[in-house]
Structure 1
């Protein structure tokens, strides 16, 4: 009898206290079991545009890991796509060990494209692709990097796949520029039919994995042109959503904070 009375009193006390808590505190409590991996754009770093998400997410109680990926300015495609997948998977395992019950991968620009690819074969609760770009399967990439890709193939055929060589990358705002990378690793990123072919990535998405597909209204023209095609190519999922913030390509992470919090929270709290 005393035990039952204690439980009733405890429940009433919790309800009263909760009513006076600020909404941010309630949100932090409900989001404390969400883990999210963030990945920057091509040639960037964890300290640039994607970093705008870190403090708001941590402020809501998320467990956040902001990674330096192989396409950063400091790494220059130093490892293969499969090795990059293993890096992300290890961090997801770490988040789960820290108590994350729902885990998401989020990326900006090339990071968004890699997040889509990652979702084709890894178990996550959702993928957030922020202004995804850099599809090596596009005609523009084939034109700009076709010769470099063939050069990488020749190096591999000559047994030099592991020796760093001067190859090339392409980014819309910068044009073509050199990278020093092992040809065997480089080819996994730039093979037109490989992992960074965006259409194949979205078509290969696990239908049970929802996607928050973010394309800012002032994104690069080439990305705006393919926006609808890419979104419609995703497998149907009731939680998959197209979000179009009023921002530029570079400003899209900070412009999407509220939507990312709302979307991941809704998925995490599904019954």
Structure 2
């Protein structure tokens, strides 16, 4: 009888250990969500963030330096640190699969972020804001030159009036320091679309979302951008029937499908 109870106890311990290990191995997805240029967490990405939370994701919906409220109030490296901090917080809450998603300029920033950070995947939603493009250099070349001169003159930390550009809105004013402005708008810097795309770490898969009714300029470059991504068997091009601003909401089902598939591997 003692032998029977010893065997029963051992079996119960084994079952309990298996269940604990199985629960611990269940993927818990954490995702950082970033808005577009001049946007906010409460605007075009809000429905996406809310839907993911409803489905059990751990979500950090960030207010990034390019928001309307912040007006480029931090450097590119500081923005990276904000995303790193959000990922660490998600990890501390139990996330064992980590993704970064961004819309428009946020989408381009996800590609840049994946140049140097290895995470489970990135979601680039209608990525745009290529400061290396001819149109940006035409619209903002003088502003970038002025920022460069101010830095050379020792005035890089002085706030002044500069300009931003977005295809749908044209040229708009913003107030920031010359150093921060140059960091974001340097045509050879972080927001150079070609460099950000081709330098994505090959180990990081990309869900590249290109809405069918996107801005004409972004439709024109979408295939070239996707083709420039490093080869990864899990990288996917998804083209929802949506506009630029509607792309985050229109892509919820595909984002859930893709991140779930990646996380199960």
- TM-score of the superposition, structure 2-length normalised? 0.92
Q: What CA RMSD, in Å, does the superposition of the two structures yield over aligned residues?
A: 1.8
Q: Is residue 71 from structure 1 mapped to residue 66 from structure 2 by the alignment? A: yes
Aligned twin of 1:231: 226
Aligned twin of 2:75: 80
String of CA shifts for 1:216-258, please: whole Å, max 9, x gaps.
Answer: 0000000000010000000000000000000000000000001
Q: Is residue 155 from structure 1 mapped to residue 150 from structure 2 by the alignment? A: yes
Aligned twin of 1:200: 195
Q: Which of these residues, 201, 216, 225, is aligned with residue 221 of structure 1?
A: 216
Are the aligned partners of 2:157 and 2:178 in contact in 1 as well (CA < 8 Å)? yes
Aligned twin of 1:210: 205
String of CA shifts for 1:68-103, please: whole Å, max 9, x gaps.
Answer: 000000111111101110111111111111111111
Farther-moved stretch of structure 1 (52-61 vs 102-111): 52-61
1:54-69 alignment runs, 5 A limit:
54-69=49-64
Q: Which of these residues, 3, 8, 21, is aligned with residue 2 of structure 1?
A: 8
Are the aligned partners of 2:118 and 2:203 in contact in 1 as well (CA < 8 Å)? no
Whole-Å separation in 2 of the counterparts to 1:9 and 1:228: 51
Deviation at 1:124, TM superposition (A): 1.2
Whole-Å separation in 2 of the counterparts to 1:143 and 1:255: 33
Cα distance change on mapping 1:8 and 1:206 into 2, 3 Å: closer
- TM-score of the superposition, structure 1-length normalised? 0.90
Whole-Å separation in 2 of the counterparts to 1:43 and 1:194: 20
Are the aligned partners of 2:112 and 2:191 in contact in 1 as well (CA < 8 Å)? yes
How many residues are paired up?
253
Whole-Å separation in 2 of the counterparts to 1:244 and 1:60: 23
Could you tell me which runs of 5 or more consecutive residues in structure 2 were left unpaired when the two chains were aligned: 1-6, 20-24
Q: Is residue 180 from structure 1 mapped to residue 175 from structure 2 by the alignment? A: yes
Deviation at 1:2, TM superposition (A): 2.1
